[in-house]
Amino acid sequence: MKKENLRVVIVGAGSSYTPELIEGLSEHRDVLPVKEVVLVDINEERLKIMEGFVKRFCQHLDYHVDVWSTDSRKEAFIGADFIACQIRVGGNKQRIFDEKIPLKYGVIGQETTGVGGMFNALRTIPVMIEIAKDVEKYCPDAWIVNYSNPTGLVTEAVLKVCNVKMAGLCAGGMRPRWWAEEALNVKEESIYYDYIGLNHMNFTYNMTIDGHPITDEQFNEVAKKCVTVDQELIHKLHLIPSQYTQYYFHTSKIVSQLKSQDKTRGEAILELEKQIWREYANEDNYEKPKTLAKRGGGGYSRIAVGVMEAVYSQSGKWMVINVPNNGTIDFLNDDAVIETACFVSRDGIKPIGLKNYPKEVVGLISAVKNYEQLTVEAALTGDKDIALKALLAHPLVREYDIAKPLLDEMLEAHKEYLPQFFKDE
């Protein structure tokens, strides 16, 4: 890809994260010559508010791009170079069911992990496939830069069905680099590591700085940044785990904590977003709302724009991306999407081979990938029995006496967004 006047389309532009992406594009204007930013969303009210705010924000940033909105993917996609996806099917309203219902059965209720993550995937995958098919049709050379959760499952499903160029993104893969940069006071570009696993189920090891392995003391300093997993366990494994592995290593403790909370994370965000959207709607406001900092999920634009720059420019970049395995991890299928270190360039996304991976995490990664692949199959077929098998395969559910009634209740709660499971009604 080498052309001037790039068109970037943001699907799910009614997300409160959209201005972060605009800011990232603005910061990279010297290397990414964006001419048009097209905002797409099914929520007309939010779309209109966001279009107004983004235009004011671009003025504030002195960023000269044409900003317009549409609810027509066809109109937006023709001539597009990058399709940034950040959809949440059912919004935070449905997320609250993902968080609350599992807790009634004594299992983790979370947006991307366990049964909550599974139902997020079941709702999101069919919609993302529709979007990808439109990309195939209207802009086959464009890159889909996906941030829609759960990104690993979504990426696997889309690449199984569609012939598109897609990067499945999460800030988590680059976080060990940022932790090391801060903890050891070294430049980000000097830090590399091997990275094995899946989105939100992964481990960093063999970290180097300027080509030299870090010392045990340096490892300990970086490890302190992972605050969700017991430090003694991290030292015993001598791996830097994803913060989300807390749900596997400290399951009972987390279930107890979640049950004791007054509000779920989704409920808290729903309240927070009311204030954020009031600030976006204020026509005198030209800057990102300060409330946005409380929203969480940072690092989004840094990764998304990093991928765009890498596939557009000459140089390419080392990044952690969700990509098909293709032999990178020998105990998983080639078509299994993994999260791993890659070289990203105009030639595409190429996983970097892994050396001497830690055997103690093979079982956990394999089990979660087994659940993921069954979930993708269930999302594509609408087969309730396959959905049940996915829950039985998941290390955080596993028990039939829990899985069966839990599945029934979750299907009913999300019925409006799961037409593939209710075709015969």
Name the band, by pLDDT with cuts 50, 70 and 90, for residue 301.
Answer: confident
Average pLDDT over residues 83-102: 97
3-state secondary structure 14-47: CCCCHHHHHHHHHHCCCCCCEEEEEEECCCHHHH
pLDDT for res 162: 98
How confident is the model over 236-246, as pLDDT tens digits? 999 999 999 99
pLDDT for res 273: 92
Percent above pLDDT 90 for the chain: 94
Average pLDDT over residues 261-275: 93
Answering whether pTM is above 0.95, one says: yes
pLDDT value at 155 more than 90: yes
Distances (CA, A) of 307 to 12, 100, 198, 249: 19, 35, 19, 32
pLDDT for res 300: 79
pLDDT for res 424: 81
pLDDT for res 292: 84
pLDDT value at 392 more than 80: yes
Name which of 153, 172, 146 is nearest 299 in CA terms: 172
pLDDT for res 297: 61
pLDDT for res 378: 98
Q: Are strands 143-146 and 165-168 parallel, antiparallel or unpaired?
A: parallel
pLDDT for res 411: 98
Name the band, by pLDDT with cuts 50, 70 and 90, for residue 296.
Answer: low
Q: From the centroid of its chain, how far is CA 383?
A: 25
146 touches 167 (CB < 8 A): yes
pLDDT value at 395 more than 60: yes
Report the chain's terminal Cα–Cα distance, integer Å: 47
What tokens does 72 get? 């027509």
User: Which class for 46: exposed (0-12), middle (13-18), buried (19 or more C-beta within 10 A)?
Assistant: buried
Distance of alpha carbon 82 from alpha carbon 77, whole angstroms: 9
pLDDT for res 120: 98
**What are the φ and ψ backbone dihedral angles of 255, each rounded to 5 degrees?**
-55, -45
pLDDT for res 294: 78
How confident is the model over 3-23, as pLDDT tens digits? 789 999 999 999 999 999 999
Distance of alpha carbon 141 from alpha carbon 152, whole angstroms: 22
Name the band, by pLDDT with cuts 50, 70 and 90, for residue 298.
Answer: low
Q: Is 244 a catalytic residue?
A: yes
Structural domain spans, the chain: 6-169, 375-421
**Average pLDDT score over the chain:** 96
pLDDT value at 1 more than 60: no
375 touches 115 (CB < 8 A): no
Average pLDDT over residues 188-195: 97
* CATH architecture under which domain 6-169 falls: 3-Layer(aba) Sandwich (3.40)
Torsion from C-alpha of 295, 181, 338, 220, nearest 10 degrees: -100
Give the number of other CB atoms < 10 A from CB of residue 83: 29
**What are the φ and ψ backbone dihedral angles of 208, each rounded to 5 degrees?**
-130, 155
397 touches 107 (CB < 8 A): yes
Percent above pLDDT 70 for the chain: 99
Distance of alpha carbon 376 from alpha carbon 382, whole angstroms: 10
Average pLDDT over residues 242-252: 98
Task: Please identify which of the residues 17, 193, 244, 300 carries the catalytic annotation.
Answer: 244
